[in-house]
Amino acid sequence: VIIVQTTQNTDAASWIVHTVPGFPAAKTGYSWPVAENAKGHILICLTISESQINAIAASLLRAEPLVHYNDIPETETVGMQYFKKLSDGQFPTVPPYLSRQSIKTAAQAAGAFRAILYKAPGQTRGKIIVSNNAGAWEDGAQVLTTRQGQSFGVTLQHVVENHNEIKFLAYNNVPPGMPNVKTKSNSKGVIIVQTTQNTDAASWIVHTVPGFPAAKTGYSWPVAENAKGHLLICLTISESQINAIAASLLRAEPLVHYNDIPETETVGMQYFKKLSDGQFPTVPPYLSRQSIKTAAQAAVTVNIYSKSASSRYEIYRRVIVKALKKTIKVWSRRDNKLKGDCRVVERNIRLIKSPARVGDHDTNLDADLTNWAVSDPGNIFCLIDRPYAKNQTVQSAMAVCIDQAAIFARFNDIAAQVEDCSQ
């Protein structure tokens, strides 16, 4: 059964797949066939968006189902050619005889990416977008020097304090309390796992702040960073995604300065094991591409691209542009060697003009430590851990690319003005 809610301005649908013959009967009251009690059956209900219906119909056409009832108005399925053929019983009689379609469920739990905070230079609160309200940059609820009352302080509560059922792995090229440490990486982040029995809950925080957060020593925002621009991204994930994250991190060779995630939580995760032990690869392949999906409302696809120093690749053009197959607009500190590049049609690198605006906060490349890009056309936003500079070809690097329209729109607003570039 494909069910659609036709309320105006509402995108809500369901797809029920089951094994019960003669069930349900349309518009005649609920009547379970008692004869089926003696048999085994499965009923699966998927909550979907209406845009997924055509993909479902495309696959159903090959199965040639007997449609015995349909009252979905054509106004709900405009442009859905496969659904039209399905409802009319127009089954294909020529190749191809196979169909492969992908859909995503729209889960009911709140929060898809949880939060992104952009702290412009000189600001202490920053601007934030959250999963249930990403339509505009909002002021942070509290200054970053205070843990209480601001979203990342709450998320990091059990990183900076003890909790028996919250464990984490933290990496930072400037580890807290460890001055003058040499590392090949520029990556910073925290993987957090809830170890409560029968609970699948994890988070991945990716950020740009050196020496932060310090593990189990109380919340302490580095005040010296107030003068600079920073980004913090929190993704809510399932624990099964951790190994894919670790696989990409291995190429970036991060400095892991804390880990108390028990091995019982990561059984079979060979890449996480290598990451936690510092076993970085020394042979090809020198590139990694992994995909994860956030856990929750309208699962967001996140692609992680990483390269080792041995690859000699320039991550912006050789990795990101090649993977996205689109032009990108780049906000990053830059050297005098790499310029904007418009030589390849629809594969340009356009440099965003400085200064720029994050909502009503000013930012500039002299003080902003963030490196990010948006695709043109959308809807992809990438956070990159290396500046747009020639020397990153001999350094490890990683990009976290989020495919989500609202996030893209907020950063694309900042990228409104770009520099001219050579053809």
Cα separation, 316 vs 23, in Å, equals 54
Of 8-12, 25-29, 31-35, 52-56, the range with the lowest mean pLDDT is: 8-12
Query: What pLDDT does 37 receive?
Result: 85
Confidence of residue 299 (pLDDT cuts 50, 70, 90): confident
Using one digit for the tens of pLDDT, what is the confidence trace for 34-93?
Answer: 888 887 777 878 777 787 788 788 778 767 788 999 999 988 888 788 888 888 888 766
The rounded mean pLDDT for the chain is: 87
Using one digit for the tens of pLDDT, what is the confidence trace for 141-151?
Answer: 889 988 887 87
Q: Is the pTM above the cut of 0.85?
A: no
b/e per residue 348-371 (b: at least 16 CB within 10 A): bbbbbebebebbebbbebebbbbb
Using one digit for the tens of pLDDT, what is the confidence trace for 149-204?
Answer: 787 888 898 898 888 999 999 999 999 988 888 888 999 999 999 999 888 889 99
Structure tokens at 149: 């009352």
What is the separation of C-alpha 109 from the centre of its chain, rounded to a whole number of angstroms?
16
Nearest Cα neighbor of 144 from 132, 127, 168 is: 127
CA angle 247, 250, 255 (to 5 degrees): 135
* Strand 188-194 with 201-207, pairing: antiparallel
Confidence of residue 119 (pLDDT cuts 50, 70, 90): very high
Query: What pLDDT does 109 receive?
Result: 38
Nearest Cα neighbor of 134 from 411, 407, 416 is: 407
% of the chain residues with pLDDT over 90 = 52
Of 2-11, 217-226, 358-367, 375-384, the range with the lowest mean pLDDT is: 2-11
Confidence of residue 106 (pLDDT cuts 50, 70, 90): very low
Contact assessment for residue 246 and residue 270, using Cβ atoms and an 8 Å cutoff: no
DSSP result, 338-394: ---B--STT--EEEBPSSEEETTEEE-TTTB---EEEEESSSEEEEESS-BSGGGGG
For the cut 70, the answer to whether the pLDDT of residue 250 exceeds it is: yes
Structure tokens at 265: 């939580």
Confidence of residue 96 (pLDDT cuts 50, 70, 90): low
- The contacts found for 349-355 with CB under 8 angstroms, 24 or more apart, are 349/316, 349/317, 349/321, 349/388, 349/421, 350/376, 350/418, 350/419, 350/421, 351/388, 351/418, 351/419, 351/421, 352/414, 352/415, 352/417, 352/418, 352/419, 353/417, 353/418, 353/419
Query: What pLDDT does 226 receive?
Result: 95
Contact assessment for residue 352 and residue 376, using Cβ atoms and an 8 Å cutoff: no
Nearest Cα neighbor of 139 from 150, 153, 154, 152 is: 150
For the cut 60, the answer to whether the pLDDT of residue 95 exceeds it is: no
- Distances 370 to 113, 231, 395 between C-alpha atoms, Å: 19, 6, 17
Q: Which residues pair with 318 in a beta bridge?
A: none
Query: What pLDDT does 1 receive?
Result: 94
Q: Which residues pair with 190 in a beta bridge?
A: 170, 205
Contact assessment for residue 307 and residue 396, using Cβ atoms and an 8 Å cutoff: yes
Mean pLDDT, rounded, for 234-253: 90
